[in-house]
Amino acid sequence: MKIYVCVKHVPDSAATITIRDGSRIEENITFLMNPYDEHAITEAAGLRSQLPDAEVVAVCVAGPAAENTLRSAMAMGADRSILVVADRQIDSMLTARALQAAIEADGTPHLILAGKESIDAEGMQTMFRLARYFGMPAATNAVKISLEADGAVVESEKEAGSRDILRLTLPCVIGAGRGLNTPRYPTLPDIIKARKREVKKIDLADLDVSSPGGKTEILSLAPVAENREPREIAGDAAAAARELVRILKEEAKVL
Amino acid sequence: MKKIGLFIEFKDDEIKPANDGMVTMAQGDGHELFALVVNADAAACRERLSAYGVSAVVDITAGGGAWHPDGWADAVVQAMNACGIETLMGLTSPQGRDLLPRIAAVLDAPLVMDCVGVDLDRNVARTTQYSGKAMAEIQLTGRHHIYGIRAGAVSPAPRAAAAEVHAFSAVEPTASGIEVLSTRPGEAGTVDLAEADIIIAGGRGMKSGENFKLLQDCARAMGAAVGASRVAVDEGWVPYTFQVGQTGSKVNPKVYIACGISGSVQHFAGMKSSEMIIAVNKDPGAAIIGKCDYYIVGDLFEIIPEVTRALGAAG
Ligand SMILES: Cc1cc2nc3c(=O)[nH]c(=O)nc-3n(C[C@H](O)[C@H](O)[C@H](O)COP(=O)(O)OP(=O)(O)OC[C@H]3O[C@@H](n4cnc5c(N)ncnc54)[C@H](O)[C@@H]3O)c2cc1C
């Protein structure tokens, strides 16, 4: 039984972004595994122990440098990994096609996990598209997953902490939310073991995928200016509080 | 005439106020606005939608009235096809995050979520990327175009129209592979952070979950929602739904009041588009002091109760 986990190689959220040619970021910064995908990998490693002969395979579509992210995924529990090497940034529609083609070429999924969104493009859609191309049901923002003989019961977190309790037939695609688990960060032996595991590389061009429905294309990318002029509200606690209330009322006009 | 479909969201049987800004965003000469209302009282919201320029309310009945993510997505697609709508907008709310990508997947259509602006004539969306550090202009191609709109991105502006209500019964879709076993309600009376006008948030400086009561009291007095930094969530002081930031809610209120929050890049990723940011922090060197509109240097345990008191006196 195979559990595939889609992971994305994203810029460290703390990194300073420099924009090149007005349309993409300079890639000489630290890249890491997308934080939601850490929850997906951790969950897959936990579920593996409940399934006979289960194997966890991490899959990523990105440039060659993403091998690092796949090594992290293997150190966190994936048995092996697949890197679809793309020589350019591709959108969610094509990424989902590429993931599907790579998974299909590798084996028959019992379950596919992913993060509910990536923190760089924040598209929130790749897992749904992947599910559709496979004809599988999908659930997002999962905070609890229980595998049953013929399905998965997923608690999907919605507004203000409400939850949909869903039963999905297997195979299915589940997007991990932050409440799903606490990521299991690797120990040194895990990292060393992961170095010996396989990263199978496939060229995106060899998968021969296309996106007939259309695409999204970045026309321009510009830094967001931080142009606030901080002003102090002075005085003792009571005076400052009164001034704050005045600002809410007269300037922000929210009271 | 370009037909624009607007997926209208409800909460507790009431139309959500955030829809008004979204409808406003869709206004334009030569745009015909269709409100798509699924399993709700369409007639009751006709007047409100008319006031913002909607000319048709499509009253969609799906799956016997119950919530089903695939059933609803399918019903919206059917209604779009029946009305000849190729452009769809909805809110980037928890429901929108579950529904809009499903619709995009069914139609195999491009989708941009969390848009702060749209150009419906050129099919271009504006949204932030890289934790709010960059603004992207994105071209959508293909036949259908779908946009998830950030709540509060545009202030509602009235534009009178006279909407007619059209009933539409969706055909039962083929088995979806999802069974909705139940829906467990969240905490009663909580405002979704993404749609709140005022947010008062606490961080490590709150020191305990018990102390969040100070914020709750103050929030009640000013009609605000309560948020938190990741530290406050990780410490178990408040549930994850309170978290604002990169890996929490992205919020867009008129006023964001950060109490005992240092202003990390990841926290800012979720709230930097707030119209006004006010910091309460005892450390004049905290990063947030340099990135806000107003700040009070001092102990939040002295200041917040005074604010609550001042609100009481003012109210
Ligand atoms: C991948 C990733 C994702 C992340 N996602 C998020 C996210 O979504 N949201 C998020 O918030 N963080 C996120 N973080 C964590 C982030 O980096 C910071 O650690 C976090 O935001 C800090 O929280 P804080 O400001 O409450 O705590 P601190 O940075 O410790 O700041 C506490 C502040 O409180 C002040 N203070 C203390 N006592 C008082 C008092 N009595 N009165 C007034 N002020 C006081 C201090 O001066 C200080 O400035 C993420 C980190 C990573 C790596």
Q: Whose CA is nearest to atom 29 of ligand 1?
A: B262
Domains contained in chain A, number: 1
**Min distance B164 CA to chain A CA atoms (Å):** 30
- Is A176 part of any domain? yes
Instruction: Tell me if B141 and A215 make a contact (CB, 8 A cut-off).
Output: yes
| Alpha carbon of residue A122 to chain centroid | 9
Task: Please indicate whether residue B245, judged by its CB atom, sits closer than 6 Å to ligand 1.
Answer: yes
E strand or H helix that includes residue B164: strand B164-169
B120 and B18 within one domain: yes
How many angstroms away from the CA of A203 is the closest CA of chain B? 24
Instruction: Determine, yes or no, domain membership for B245.
Output: yes
The minimum CA-CA distance between B253 and chain A, rounded to whole Å, is 10
Q: Where are the alpha helices (DSSP H) in B139-290?
A: 212-222, 230-234, 265-271
What is the pLDDT of chain B when averaged over all its residues?
A: 95
Alpha-carbon gap, residue A223 to B128, rounded angstroms: 9
Look up the domain containing B274 and give its range: 193-314
* Cβ of B289 below 6 Å from ligand 1: no
Find the helix packing angle between A92-106 and A126-134, rounded to 10°.
Answer: 50
When scoring B115, B129, B198 by the number of chain A Cβ atoms within 10 A, the one with the most, hence best to mutate, is: B129
By the 8 A CB rule, do B27 and B59 touch? Answer: no
Write the pLDDT tens digit of every residue in A215-229.
999 999 999 988 899
* Whole-number pLDDT of residue B172: 85
Q: Which residues pair with residue A223 across a beta bridge?
A: B134
- A&B contacts, CB < 8 Å: 276
Q: Is residue A190 part of a domain?
A: yes
Q: Is residue B229 part of a domain?
A: yes
Number of structural domains chain B divides into: 2
Tell me how long chain A is. 255
Say if residue B150 is in the same domain as residue B207.
no
In a shared domain, residues B64 and B154: yes
Asked if the structure places residue B176 within a domain, the reply is no
Q: How far is it between the farthest Cα atoms of chain B?
A: 61
Within 13 Å of residue A53, how many CA atoms lie on the same side as its CB?
A: 2
Closest residue in A to B265 (Cα–Cα): A14
Residues B208 and B164 in one domain: no
Distance CA B110, CA A93 (A): 7
Whether residue B159 is found in the same domain as residue B237: no
Q: Is B131 in the pocket of ligand 1 (CB under 6 A)?
A: no
| Pocket-testing residue among B233, B267, B272, B292, ligand 1, by greatest number of atoms within 8 A of Cβ | B267
Structure tokens, B6: 């607007």
Residue given tokens 């060659």 in the structure block: A64
CA-CA distance, B20 to A25, in Å (whole number)? 35
Assign residue B236 a region: left if phi > 0, alpha if psi is -120 to 50, beta otherwise? left
In a domain, B263, yes or no: yes
So what's the pLDDT on residue B2?
95
**Which two tokens mark B5?**
């479909």
Domain assignment present for B182? no
Cβ neighbours, 10 Å, residue A187: 10
Residues B126 and B25 occupy one common structural domain: yes
Q: Distances from the Cα of B178 to the Cαs of A6, A116, A125, B151, in angstroms?
A: 21, 18, 18, 28
User: What digits encode the pLDDT tens for the residues A51-91?
Assistant: 889 999 999 999 999 999 999 999 999 999 999 999 999 99
Same domain, B154 and B29: yes
Note whether residue A228 is domain-resident: no
User: What pLDDT, on the 0 to 100 scale, is given for residue B188?
Assistant: 64
- pLDDT for the residue B313: 80
The CATH code of the domain that includes A197 is 3.40.50.620
B116 touches chain A (CB under 8 A): no
Q: How far is A217 from chain B (nearest CA, A)?
A: 5
Q: Are residues B65 and B160 in the same domain?
A: yes
Q: Determine the distance separating the centroid of ligand 1 and the alpha carbon of B266, expressed in angstroms.
A: 9
pLDDT value, residue B192: 76
Number of Cα atoms under 13 Å in the Cβ half of residue A218: 23
Query: Nearest chain A Cα to B112, which residue?
Result: A123
Higher pLDDT, A246 or B63: A246
Residues of B in contact with A228 (CB under 8 A): 277, 291-293
Report the residue from A211, A220, A241 with minimal CB separation from B307: A241
Pick A216's closest partner by Cβ from B92, B112, B272.
B112
So what's the ipTM on this one? 0.96
Of the candidates B142, B183, B292, which has its C-beta nearest A228's C-beta?
Answer: B292
CB contact under 8 A, B130 and A159: no
Beta bridge partners of B249: B244
Distances (CA, A) of B68 to B13, B99, B102, B163: 16, 10, 12, 27
Continuous segment of H or E residues that includes residue B202: strand B198-202
* Amino acid B176: pLDDT: 87
> With left for phi above 0 and alpha for psi between -120 and 50, is residue B67 left, alpha or beta?
beta
Per the CB < 8 A criterion, the answer to whether A26 and A77 are in contact is no
Nearest CA distance, A223 vs chain B (angstrom)? 4
Residue whose pair of structure tokens reads 């001042």 in the numeric block: B310
Domain final residue pick, B169, B204, B219: B169
Q: Which atom of ligand 1 has the smallest separation from the CA of B258?
A: 25
The answer to whether B101 contacts A131, with C-beta atoms less than 8 Å apart, is no
pTM: 0.94
Minimal Cα distance from A232: which residue of B?
B295
- Residue A249 in domain: no
Q: Whose CA is nearest to atom 41 of ligand 1?
A: B299
- Check CB contact of B227 with chain A, cutoff 8 Å: no
CA of residue A47 relative to chain centroid, distance:
19
pLDDT tens profile A127-157: 999 999 999 999 999 999 999 988 999 999 9
Residue with tokens 């009041």: B257
Q: Could you tell me if the CB of B270 is within 6 A of ligand 1?
A: yes
Q: Which residues of chain B have pLDDT under 50?
A: none
What is the position in ligand 1's atom list of the atom closest to the CA of A35? 1
Task: Tell which of B153, B169, B185 closes a domain.
Answer: B169
Q: Which of B199, B204, B250 to mutate to test the pocket of ligand 1 (most atoms within 8 A of CB)?
A: B204
Predicted pLDDT at A76: 97
How far away, in angstroms, is B244 Cα from ligand 1 center?
Answer: 11
Range of the domain at A112: 2-206
DSSP code string of B94-119? HHHHHHHHHHHHHHT--EEEEEEEEE
Instruction: Note which residues in 44-73 of chain B have CB less than 8 A from chain A.
Output: 67, 69-70
Are B25 and B127 in a shared domain? yes
**From start to end of A90-230, where are the E strands?**
109-115, 138-147, 151-157, 163-169, 173-176, 199-203, 216-223
Residue B189: per-residue pLDDT: 61
Rounded distance from Cα B260 to ligand 1 centre (Å): 8
Whether residue B266 has its Cβ less than 6 Å from ligand 1:
yes
Cβ-Cβ contacts under 8 Å for A239 (sequence gap 6 or more):
none
CATH of the domain at B75: 3.40.50.620
B134-155 confidence digits (pLDDT tens)? 999 999 999 999 999 999 999 9
pLDDT tens sequence across A159-214: 888 999 999 999 999 999 999 999 989 999 999 999 999 999 999 999 999 999 99
In a domain? residue A88: yes
Question: Beta strands A163-169 and A151-157: pairing type?
Answer: antiparallel
**Number of alpha carbons in the 13 Å side-chain half-sphere of residue A178:** 19
Ligand 1 pocket residue status of B204, Cβ below 6 Å: yes
Clarify whether residues B47 and B158 are in a common domain: yes
